Amino acid sequence: MDMLWNGWGDPAKAAPLPETVTGLLRDLLGVEPRSTPALGLADIRPPAPTASRAALRALAAAVGDEHVRTDGESRVRHTRGKSTPDLLRIRAGDVSDVPQAVVLPATHDEVLAVLRACAAHGLAVVPFGGGTSVVGGLAPQRSLFVALDLRRMNGLLDLDPVSRTAVLQPGLRAPEAEALLAGHGFTLGHFPQSFEWATIGGFAAARSSGQASAGYGRFDEMVLGLTLATPEGTIDTGRAPRSAAGPDLRQLILGSEGAFGVITSVTVRIRPLPEVRRYEGWRFRSFEEGATALRRLAQDGPRPTVLRLSDETETLVGLAQPDAIGADPAQGGAGCLAIAGYEGTAEDTAYRSERAAAVLRDCGGTPAGTEPGERWAHGRYSAPYLRDALLDAGAFAETLETAAFWSRVPELYTAVRTALTDTLTRAGTPPLVMCHISHVYENGASLYFTVVSAQGADPVAHWTPAKHAANEALLAAGGTISHHHGVGTDHRDWYVREAGPLGVSALRAVKRRLDPEGLLNPGVLLPTD
């Protein structure tokens, strides 16, 4: 099934906001219902492809006629990603950067053939997995491009139960990967909010981080090997789990966002399926107090599999359990809600839960039982659907994220909140700004912000100054421009500053060697020459 063309996920799961929530949006934020009816997919008519017949014939020769799609619906469904500006533009009928065609290869060799065909005919290439990018990662700065949809490359190629490794194809969606691994008694343990739709190749290309990262690690920590198809040939990495044979080329490919090549296979570390899963809720008086508790567990253990903390605003609104917003007025409450989850053997989870509880209590935490944790687990993939409902109701809703060392987290939290609040308030749309910590490390943590406000006359133009102000604030406060969403085009200019002139020059040299014509996702990750 394809994802909803003008929103997130499965259309059958879309639901309007409860009247209690729309009333609060109106009274507190001045949100007004939309004045124009929504466009349907049949109303969106992209311009006809302008790529030459010779180019389309070359693509068909690479993958077969039936796997080159030039119809309007296929091209619209592959236009941009799923950020709020992306959705607002497509909902307004803006398909100015629609691909010329959608090409569906089935093998590594077919990917190489497509890249050769595109190089011969001057077509740019945008690798397309689940289409879940929220940073402009599918919006190249080139009018003539094709979307390289990898959905046919969706197999489990190998599983080594002795080494506990698996080789997965890039177009494999996360639920399908988990089902295939579960058939052998294993799990990847990677469960980001995009889990239901994102793909293995996308996880690697964007350095994804899942909601159980405290226990299973980030996706880049799970990757043991990669195969990359480029216009200049193939790169294979991952002869051993670790190596001292020069710089690790895997790290060059991870996070490259399709700018250096197309990932065609990923070798990953796998773990046995957990015997037990248990999720608990804890209350803290303040975000600072809760963050101290998370730091204690991250640094000294025992570390839960899932560890997250909502600030006072997010807790009060109830966003920690998004599928229940508006259904239970008492679900939020005062203070801050933390979720601690444990997966593994019965003995191990009981041990970690008991020892972690002692740390959480020592830091001022009050146990709230399993209901908040289980409610979070049940609704952890619901937030993007809530974003769609907010847009339908006339509100603006967007997210941004960063990470920093523990000593900088308080300053970073205040700086980004202040930048967003001040910028949008001056524009006449005072926002609700919420935040949570959802990924912790021995040395630092991520911060994930959600912003809700009225849309303004031009929602995209209205948001841009606030986004820029937040980016400036997080860099000034010592944060990274992205912890797990990636760079895309939205963060590119700030990434260039974070990497520095010499670092960017080195990456440009890599791109020139692997992609001499600059055809791979031009303008994504790195500015075009």
Is pLDDT above 50 for 248? yes
Same domain, 322 and 216: no
Q: What is the tens place of the pLDDT at every residue in 387-438? A: 999 999 999 999 999 999 999 999 999 999 999 999 999 999 999 999 999 9
Domain that holds residue 245: 156-272
Domain boundary among 323, 357, 381: 381
pLDDT of residue 329: 46
Same domain, 196 and 235: yes
Lowest mean pLDDT among 216-220, 250-254, 315-319: 315-319
Domain boundary among 218, 249, 272: 272
Residue 131, annotated as binding a ligand? yes
Residue 260, annotated as binding a ligand? yes
Q: Enter the DSSP assignment of 419.
A: H
Q: How many residues does the chain have?
A: 529
Closest Cα to residue 388, out of 448, 472, 322? 322
**Mean pLDDT across the stretch 86-110?**
96
Residue 165, annotated as binding a ligand? no
Same domain, 231 and 300: no
**Domain containing residue 331: CATH number:** 3.30.70.3450
CB-neighbour burial class of residue 292 (10 A; exposed 0-12, middle 13-18, buried 19+): middle
**Position 307 in a domain:** yes
Q: What is the dihedral of CA 349, 209, 266, 139, to 10 degrees?
A: 160
Residue type, 414: T
The Cβ-side half-sphere exposure at 20, using a 13 Å CA radius, reads 7
**Position 252 in a domain:** yes
pLDDT of residue 37: 81
The strand ranges marked E within 172-260 are: 186-187, 223-230, 233-237
Same domain, 294 and 225: no
**Mean pLDDT across the stretch 235-250?**
95
**Position 355 in a domain:** yes
Residue 132, annotated as binding a ligand? yes
Lowest mean pLDDT among 25-39, 129-143, 180-194: 25-39
Same domain, 239 and 300: no
**Mean pLDDT across the stretch 70-80?**
97
**Position 193 in a domain:** yes
Bridging pattern class, strands 366-367 and 306-310: unpaired
Domain boundary among 226, 247, 272: 272
**Position 40 in a domain:** no
Taking a C-beta distance cutoff of 8 angstroms, is the pair 164, 271 a contact? yes
Q: Domain count of the chain?
A: 2
pLDDT of residue 16: 87
CB-neighbour burial class of residue 424 (10 A; exposed 0-12, middle 13-18, buried 19+): buried
Q: Residue 210 — pLDDT band, cuts 50, 70, 90? A: very high
Task: Give the pair of three-digit tokens for residue 321.
Answer: 């359990």
Same domain, 286 and 319: yes
**Domain containing residue 169: CATH number:** 3.30.465.10
Same domain, 164 and 194: yes
Q: Enter the DSSP assignment of 408.
A: G
**Position 33 in a domain:** no
- Residue 502 burial (CB count, 10 A): 8
Catalytic residues: 448
Is pLDDT above 70 for 373? yes
pLDDT of residue 38: 83
Residue 255, annotated as binding a ligand? no
DSSP string, 34-71: -SSPPPPGGG--PPPP-S-HHHHHHHHHHH-GGGEE-S
**Mean pLDDT across the stretch 233-240?**
96
Residue 179, annotated as binding a ligand? no
pLDDT of residue 334: 83
Same domain, 308 and 349: yes
Same domain, 226 and 315: no
Helices 459-476 and 492-499 cross at an angle (nearest 10°) of: 10
Same domain, 237 and 281: no
**Position 142 in a domain:** no
Residue 387, annotated as binding a ligand? yes
pLDDT of residue 14: 86
Q: What is the tens place of the pLDDT at every residue in 319-369? A: 776 766 655 544 557 899 999 999 999 999 999 999 999 999 999 999 999
Same domain, 177 and 260: yes
**What is the distance between the terminal CA atoms of the chain, rounded to a whole angstrom?**
38
Same domain, 284 and 262: no
Residue 127, annotated as binding a ligand? yes
Residue 259, annotated as binding a ligand? yes
**Position 260 in a domain:** yes
**Mean pLDDT across the stretch 14-38?**
87
Q: Residue 386 — pLDDT band, cuts 50, 70, 90? A: very high
Alpha helices in 301-445 (DSSP H): 312-317, 346-362, 371-379, 383-392, 409-426
The Cβ-side half-sphere exposure at 11, using a 13 Å CA radius, reads 7
